[in-house]
Structure 1
């Protein structure tokens, strides 16, 4: 089932899913005129109840890491990502998704399997994740959707009824609108501008929390995650101080970014995939353009070498499976000590277009679709050597 939100609004669509006891997957896409870039969301249902919801608009595991920080478990997630266990991917069979085929759900399940968090804590985390996603999609207009049947997770961690959730989120959105025009986006970052007045107004514990959180490097949404509160509650608490000018909101984090123009070009390129997909012609082209290719077939080893070599270019073949490539690309993007490398994805003519779209959302992505000529690869390499940062785009050979 495919449609536009000009014909049916999101709330009605969710209610339809509940009433028909739909089991499957809902893809939601909002175009650039609604937000700065096209956004994608995926929601999963089991007999009309939500089992999971994920956004492909930001770093793939940042949301979970923010929630885990409340429990002082964010380091456990880092250890999980660098372990070989992260890459134990189950194949997709008969439209049945396993928890290890989406990074965030994968991490949730492995944290549970390894007894890092309890079942009740995992359910609470997952409920927060789903509520946050539904808050976003109910607040937007326009866009398209694709509803697919019989695509669901097994095993499932929890299920959430749609009607009570919509009622709760609708009330939150009404409260959120009352904060306009002082607060207009969950991504705004508060900065403390008058600490003296604030210190004399609130208790010492609350003041200490605000001085840490309101330094301009955390958004309202991330502060809410850290404090295990919902976005509206946190925003309402800060609203009086924003009105008085004691707090200022910026549109994006003010953390100084490291310069990437110097040392942006590295001659090393990590090639990840089966030997038959990264053939002699590809390696020859890389060498002719001044690169030193390192060929790897083991994803865990590849992540280790990427951290070690700090390449500015990574060649990733989809022959290892689309979903593993998607997961691997997501992990590369969130390695904290790594500058954003250009990832060239080698795809085939029958590659899943949705999978390619999700990869492109990570940014700094180029696609080469077989069959392609060596000159196509050379063109990308030459451009990469002359530009330190660039936007991802698709090149169809």
Structure 2
């Protein structure tokens, strides 16, 4: 089952899955661009966002984004004063390739850092929060893929009652506009004396500390173990009276704190696996001129063994290759603990929504749509292992020329850019 959200909404999709008692994974991708404003009325940044919902016999087991980050889990742990627990925890072996958050949650319970009750409370918040985002979408695409169940299951959620509750909350949320627009807005106290007299007690004191202009409403809701609508309802009178302000959420300018800080003394190593000769050479040239250590491999079967020797910091992997598809190579690498956390970027076709779904299912971190220019390649590489070098050559036409050369030379049984 697949389609566009303009034709069928998330509520109907989940209802069909529940009625059919299906087991599998629902992948949803929001279109990039300002036209998809979502529930907040604010333009979504021009970067695509995607989510996965795991289902068992029509019931939800887990739901989250596919970015692989642990920020959300860390926020939920803050409620139990366990923020630092993730720093000494290794993801459970059961962690799905594209949802490490679930694996870390299980590891915390296996190590008795969290009780099962606490784990279920966190999982419930994650599912609720994800559905709140999904049910507010009006533009995007989806694919539901039958597969084996995510195992083991901590608990399951009937989507029907949950969707009804969250839909009502979305309607409530609209009433806060324009004083409160986005869950990602960070409250800032304007009249400290005025609001302090009304927020007495330990919880009020904590809330005052969190309204520092750096902590979002979504984070505060996680800290409190509440949904963001309940929090917004409590803050709305203060926002309306001007005691607090909620500026529009800024675009992120710093890397996520859960990403490992890059050691600037070490040159990042990037490996490109692609059967197109000229494309490989051009990718190497562009990256090496920017100070990266770049290696390319044309045979995917040979790449499987060489990657273990090279231990790259980032892997670029074409999809359409002879003998072994990029999906298969990605899935095989994710089976090894050596590559569970390594960013793997799939090179997908121009209209490759299905390619992107398969890439996510195989455990890919991200994707780059062909044809792409040098600037797009460098931006993506810098996103994961960036040197941040502002001095760039002018190779914008190199990749386009390389693609044309490979097509004229007939490199490989399939064109390098599908």
Q: TM-score, normalised by structure 1?
A: 0.70
**CA distance 1:145–1:255, shift in 2 (3 Å):** closer
Deviation at 1:121, TM superposition (A): 1.4
Contact 2:330–2:364, Cα closer than 8 Å, also in 1: no
Gaps in structure 2 of 5+ consecutive residues: 37-43, 256-261, 296-305, 318-328, 372-376, 393-398, 404-415
Q: Which runs of 5+ in 1 are unaligned?
A: 91-97, 259-263, 307-313, 333-342, 370-375, 389-393
The verdict on how the C-alpha distance between 1:288 and 1:174 changes in structure 2, with shifts beyond 3 A counting, is closer
| Alignment of 1:241 onto 2:232 | no
Q: Describe the SS at the equivalent of 1:146.
A: strand
Render the CA deviation track for 1:69-114: whole Å, top value 9, x for unaligned: 111122111212xxxx44x757xxxxxxx64652111111211222
The answer as to 2:14 corresponding to 1:14 is yes
Q: Is the 8 A contact 1:323 1:355 kept in 2?
A: no
User: Residues 5 and 141 of structure 2 are in contact (CA less than 8 Å); yes or no, is this contact kept in structure 1?
Assistant: yes
Counterpart mapping for 1:61-80 below 5 A: 61-80=70-89
Worse-superposed segment, 283-292 or 166-175: 283-292
Aligned to 1:386: 390
TM (norm. structure 2) is 0.67
Q: Any idea what SS the aligned residue of 1:145 has?
A: strand
Matched, 1:54 2:64: yes
Give the length in aligned residue pairs: 342
Q: 1:28 is matched with which residue? A: 28
Q: State the Cα deviation string for residues 155-203 of structure 1 (Å, max 9, x = none).
A: 2221101111112112212221221221111111110111011122231
2:109 aligns with: 112
Distance in 1 (alpha carbons) for counterparts of 2:139 and 2:248: 23
Q: Provide the C-alpha distance between the structure 2 equivalents of 1:155 and 1:247, rounded to a whole number of angstroms.
A: 44
Residue 352 of structure 1: how far off its partner (Å):
5.7
Report what 2:150 is aligned to: 153
**Structure 2 counterpart of 1:269:** 267
State whether residues 344 and 367 of structure 1, in contact with CA within 8 Å, keep that contact through their aligned partners in structure 2: no
- Tell me the CA shift for residue 287 of structure 1: 10
Over residues 336-362 of structure 1, what are the superposed CA-to-partner deviations in whole Å (9 max), with x where a residue is unaligned?
A: xxxxxxx78586999963365799997
Secondary structure at the counterpart of residue 50 of structure 1: strand
Task: After superposition, give the CA deviation of every residue in 1:102-160 in whole Å (9 maximum; x if it has no partner).
Answer: 21111112112222111121111111100110111111212211111124312222110
Structure-2 separation of matches of 1:346 and 1:49:
30
Q: Which has the higher strand share?
A: 1
Q: Secondary structure at the match of 1:12?
A: helix
| RMSD, matched Cα | 4.7
- Give, in angstroms, the shift of residue 205 of structure 1: 2.7
State how far apart, in whole Å, the 1-side matches of 2:56 and 2:337 are: 24
